[in-house]
Amino acid sequence: MPGGAAQRLVGAAGCEMDIAASKERAQELAGHGDLLAFLPLIMAIVSLASLLLLVQTSRVATAGYDIRRLEQLRESWRQRNYELDVEVSRLQSLERVETEARSRFHMVEPSGYVYVAVDTPPPVRAEVAPETTGWDESEPSVKISKHWWEAFFRPIFSR
Amino acid sequence: MMLLASSTLALVARLANLQIMQHDQYAAQARSEHWSRDKVPAHRGAIRDRNGYALAITATTYDLYLKPKVSGPVTAANTAKALAPLIDVPPEKIMATLTGEDKGKALVAANISYATGEKIRSMGLPGVEAVEKVRRFYPEGNLGSTLMGFVGKDGNGLTGAEESLDGDLAGIAGLLVYERDSTGEPIPLGINSLTPPEAGADVYLTIDRYIQRLAERELDKAMEKHKASGGTIIVMDPKTGELLAMASRPAFDLTKIETDLAQLNPKDSKQVALFRNRAVADVYEPGSTFKIITMASAVNEGLVNANTTYYDGGPVNKYGWNIDTWNGKHFGQETMTQLLQHSNNVGAVWVSDRLGTDRFYKYVRLFGFGQATNVGLAGEGRGQVRYPTEAGWYPVDLAVNSFGQGISVTPLQMITAASAVANGGSLMQPYVVKRIEGPRGTRSFSPVPVRRVVSEATSRTLREMLTKVAEGENTVLPLAAVPGYKVAGKTGTASIPGPGGYTSAATIASFIGFGPSDNPRFIILVKIDEPQDSPWGSLVASPIFSSIAKQTFAYLQIPPTDTALALANR
């Protein structure tokens, strides 16, 4: 029967189509297999990035606290300086100097002033040579190496 | 269904109103709750004397308060134990306050150091409150109170140099902007930005603390001795106009300023007057010290010299007013120097007649009377001069002005004018700030000559005449003399004008003098108000000048003119 032959033909053709689809599917699966192979790597990268972010954030937080602590410390020292300024001023005050002079050193106010008239003129101030700084400005005896290998080998070859 | 639709519509409308119509308002509210902007106060600069010694200086301290009944006895005992060694207060006292009757928080220690205060604050002890306080300290005590002035609770200068120099001293406040959480605390990882404050500059005055103290001590002694109602002493470098000391009494006490301000009654004029710098603000009739100006003007015009004579034959009548000498004595023929030595009012009138109205008032103006000296201190007075062109001036004014009555000046104007006579003839602008050192650099101030008033020759003549006045044989009482040194000066005894004319008894006793006469290094004005034991400048003010001048010579290491005399007066 011609109708039956046609069905077979169709059946044969359908079978051929199934095989082609299966091949495509197989190829697709093979592609997914490649992706799956990269998945752990991607996850590792993401994890690492997250970890880095966490570490970074943590470090920023720690640094922030450190900066704040150091700022407080700096402020504390600054205030201490101001306090010391007040203390120095109090110790230098005329009232305190006078009290110390009277009580500790038993000093009294002068009843008069002695002026000594001298006939001889005051000595002429001698010209004083400027003081040296102690810095030797002559050429250094050891020549400084220009290259790192010279510095590296000098201890070996020089005695 | 309708109900649901209308409810939804109402809800949408409300949301639109909140989120669109009132967006800006709520956004601003959210920002203000989320962001905090705190002003960071700047450290106030110090006021120092010319040698760098601090007169006013700022530091931050803590006051410690205890709140009773906040914790139980065991916790209170632990608190007392922890706190006692830090503030040097017995633990029993702390314990008694913490467990005692609740009368509100009690101050247990004031002016604790910043470090200790911070430590106590960080300990978080229950019932303990450490309050930060920025304080102005005065290492020299009450030295120069009216000159320096004081700062208010907000740290701004309110009077004196603190007020005049507030722009330099105060610095620039910083700004801290930060994100805060719901409790108002800064978010640790939130955004914050700090514009740091800029500290105020240190101001170096021309004042010398030693001379200032000397002037104040002498003024206090004089006030007590003569039971005076007030007084002023100014010491100045006549060549530069630098003020070396400026003392006035009565005055407020810098060391008790916080309590005094708390008790101040602004309606009580006597209390308020304590804060006034009388040396620059108050006016008075200078009396015979003004004869220096009259004589300098006449000498400079070439009308008289030191030896020009005139005849003092008795009181003179001017436009119906009888003018006599201060003691009723008359000296016949006398020289201009003798006129000054006798402080003769009749002679001063004779000199003013020779000068005439135009020339006399020209010099009054040239010497700076009736004008501010621009010293740079708040509240400076201008004095009061009636010129012939003004209403209220009478011809007799010329006569009485010549011996310093009917004309009002400030002590600072008077000493500035006398400085011009002493220094060679230049009117110098007085100044009180030597330099300002701040974060932006240093500004130094130099002497400013205002104008030439009299010639070098006139100045020399007047110096010689005034030397004879201060220590000459003909001087009534040479109490201004300083053994071994040549000093020059003039006394003044002025009546005090009141609403009904001059009061009969009360006077202002004054003296203006400088030394050494031939090369003045300092000039001193002494003014004592209403001395009770003697009205005369020669008796009251001259000895004060002598005492200050003697000590100033030694302090400035100025060698004596006559060594033998200096030794003899040891």
CATH of the domain at B291: 3.40.710.10
Are residues B473 and B272 in contact, defined by beta-carbon separation less than 8 angstroms? no
A57 chain-B contacts, CB cut-off 8 A: 189
Q: At what angle do helices B91-99 and B73-87 cross, to 10 degrees?
A: 140
The answer, yes or no, to whether residue A143 has pLDDT greater than 80, is: no
User: B333 with B476, same domain?
Assistant: yes
Closest CA to B200 of B151, B252, B147, B261: B151
pLDDT of residue B358: 95
Q: At what angle do helices B411-422 and B291-300 cross, to 10 degrees?
A: 40
- For chains A and B, count residue pairs whose Cβ atoms are closer than 8 Å: 74
| CA B512 – CA B489 distance, rounded (Å) | 5
* Residues in contact with B323: Cβ distance below 8 Å, sequence separation at least 6, in sequence order: B315, B316, B317, B345, B346, B349, B399, B400
Closest CA to B135 of B106, B116, B120, B113: B113
User: B93 with B240, same domain?
Assistant: no
B485 chain-A contacts, CB cut-off 8 A: none
In which band, very low, low, confident or very high, does the pLDDT at A30 lie, cut at 50, 70 and 90? low
In eight-state DSSP terms, residue B19 is I
CA distance A90 to chain B (A): 5
- Residue B52 inside a domain? The answer is no
Query: pTM, whole model, 2 decimals?
Result: 0.81
Among partner residues A57, A76, A92, which is closest to B118 by beta-carbon distance? Answer: A76
Among partner residues B59, B140, B141, which is closest to A83 by beta-carbon distance? Answer: B59
- Residue B462 inside a domain? The answer is yes
Q: Are strands B202-205 and B47-48 parallel, antiparallel or unpaired?
A: parallel
- Residue B404 inside a domain? The answer is yes
User: B425 with B297, same domain?
Assistant: yes
| CA B427 – CA B368 distance, rounded (Å) | 8
- Locate B62 and state its tokens: 């803590």
CA distance A84 to chain B (A): 9
**Residue showing tokens 């402020």:** A75
Are residues B526 and B491 in contact, defined by beta-carbon separation less than 8 angstroms? no
- Residue B372 inside a domain? The answer is yes
CA distance B567 to chain A (A): 6
**Residue showing tokens 């001193």:** B524
User: B93 with B239, same domain?
Assistant: no
Last residue of a domain, one of B107, B138, B169: B138
Among partner residues B59, B563, B567, which is closest to A82 by beta-carbon distance? Answer: B59
pLDDT of residue B324: 87
| CA B144 – CA B164 distance, rounded (Å) | 15
B534 in catalytic set: no
More confident residue, B104 or A93: A93
Q: Does B59 touch chain A (CB under 8 A)?
A: yes
Q: The CATH number of the domain where B109 resides is what?
A: 3.90.1310.10
Q: Are strands B501-515 and B35-40 parallel, antiparallel or unpaired?
A: unpaired
pLDDT of residue B363: 97
**Residue showing tokens 């003119």:** B561
The answer, yes or no, to whether residue A24 has pLDDT greater than 70, is: yes
Closest CA to B430 of B442, B414, B443, B444: B414
Three-class SS state of B266: coil
Q: Does B213 touch chain A (CB under 8 A)?
A: yes
Cβ-defined contact of B137 to A89 (cutoff 8 Å): yes
User: B244 with B117, same domain?
Assistant: no
- Residue B503 inside a domain? The answer is yes
- Residue B191 inside a domain? The answer is no
For CA atoms B131, B137, B141, B147, the dihedral sign is negative
Give the long-range contacts of residues A16-19, CB within 8 A, separation 24 or more.
none
B42 chain-A contacts, CB cut-off 8 A: none
pLDDT of residue A132: 45
How many Cα atoms sit within 13 Å of B305 on the Cβ side? 5
Last residue of a domain, one of B82, B107, B138: B138
pLDDT of residue A121: 73
User: B116 with B241, same domain?
Assistant: no
| CA B285 – CA B283 distance, rounded (Å) | 7
| CA B543 – CA B258 distance, rounded (Å) | 36
Neighbours of A113 (CB within 10 A): 16
Checking ipTM against 0.85, whether it exceeds it is no
In which band, very low, low, confident or very high, does the pLDDT at A128 lie, cut at 50, 70 and 90? low
Cβ-defined contact of A80 to B118 (cutoff 8 Å): no
Total number of domains constituting chain B: 2
Q: Does B560 touch chain A (CB under 8 A)?
A: yes
Q: Does B180 touch chain A (CB under 8 A)?
A: no
| CA B319 – CA A47 distance, rounded (Å) | 111
- Which residues on neighbouring strands pair with residue B509, listed in sequence order? B493, B528
pLDDT of residue A12: 52
- Residue B528 inside a domain? The answer is yes
B54 chain-A contacts, CB cut-off 8 A: 85-86, 89, 92
Q: Distances in Å between the alpha carbon of B462 and those of B92, B292, B303, B309, B422?
A: 73, 8, 14, 16, 8
Q: Distances in Å between the alpha carbon of B359 and those of A154, B355, B427, B455?
A: 95, 6, 18, 15
User: B403 with B540, same domain?
Assistant: yes
Are residues B120 and B109 in contact, defined by beta-carbon separation less than 8 angstroms? no
User: B112 with B240, same domain?
Assistant: no
A110 chain-B contacts, CB cut-off 8 A: 554
Cβ-defined contact of B189 to A117 (cutoff 8 Å): no
For CA atoms B289, B295, B296, B298, the dihedral sign is positive
Nearest CA in chain A to B186: A68
Last residue of a domain, one of B138, B170, B201: B138
Cβ-defined contact of B141 to A93 (cutoff 8 Å): yes
Nearest CA in chain B to A109: B551
pLDDT of residue A134: 44
**Marked catalytic residue, from B145, B248, B288, B538:** B288
Cβ-defined contact of B137 to A86 (cutoff 8 Å): yes
**Residue showing tokens 């690492």:** A48
The two most distant CA atoms of chain A are separated, in Å, by 162
User: B127 with B244, same domain?
Assistant: no
Among partner residues B113, B118, B141, which is closest to A95 by beta-carbon distance? Answer: B141
| Chain A: residues touching B (Cβ < 8 Å) | 57, 60-61, 64-65, 76, 79-80, 82-83, 85-86, 89-90, 92-95, 110-115, 117
- Identify the residue among A94, A114, A116 best suited for mutation to test binding to B, counting B beta carbons within 10 A and taking the highest: A94
Cβ-defined contact of B570 to A113 (cutoff 8 Å): yes
Cβ-defined contact of A112 to B570 (cutoff 8 Å): yes
Please provide the DSSP assignment of A35-85 as one string.
Answer: HHHHHHHHHHHHHHHHHHHHHHHHHHHHHHHHHHHHHHHHHHHHHHHHHHH
Closest CA to B138 of B129, B128, B147: B147
pLDDT of residue B188: 66
How does pLDDT run along chain B (570 residues), one tens digit per residue? Answer: 788 889 999 999 999 998 888 989 988 888 888 888 888 889 999 999 999 999 999 999 999 998 887 777 888 888 888 888 888 888 888 888 888 777 788 888 888 888 889 889 888 888 888 888 889 999 999 999 999 999 988 888 989 999 999 999 999 999 988 888 877 777 766 777 888 899 999 999 999 999 999 999 999 999 999 999 999 999 999 999 999 999 999 999 988 888 888 888 888 888 888 989 999 999 999 999 999 999 999 999 999 999 999 999 889 998 888 898 888 888 899 999 999 999 999 999 999 999 999 999 999 999 999 999 999 998 899 999 999 998 889 999 999 999 999 999 999 999 999 999 999 999 999 999 999 999 999 999 999 999 999 999 999 999 999 999 987 665 555 788 898 899 999 999 988 887 767 766 789 999 999 999 999 999 999 999 999 988 888 889 999 999 999 999 999 989 888 665 555 444
Instruction: Give the domain range for residue B105.
Output: 59-138
Cβ-defined contact of A82 to B58 (cutoff 8 Å): yes
User: B353 with B475, same domain?
Assistant: yes
Closest CA to B288 of B502, B493, B530: B493
- Residue B339 inside a domain? The answer is yes
Report the b/e string of A35-52 with b at 16+ CB within 10 A. eeeeeeeeeeeeeeeeee
Are residues B359 and B416 in contact, defined by beta-carbon separation less than 8 angstroms? no
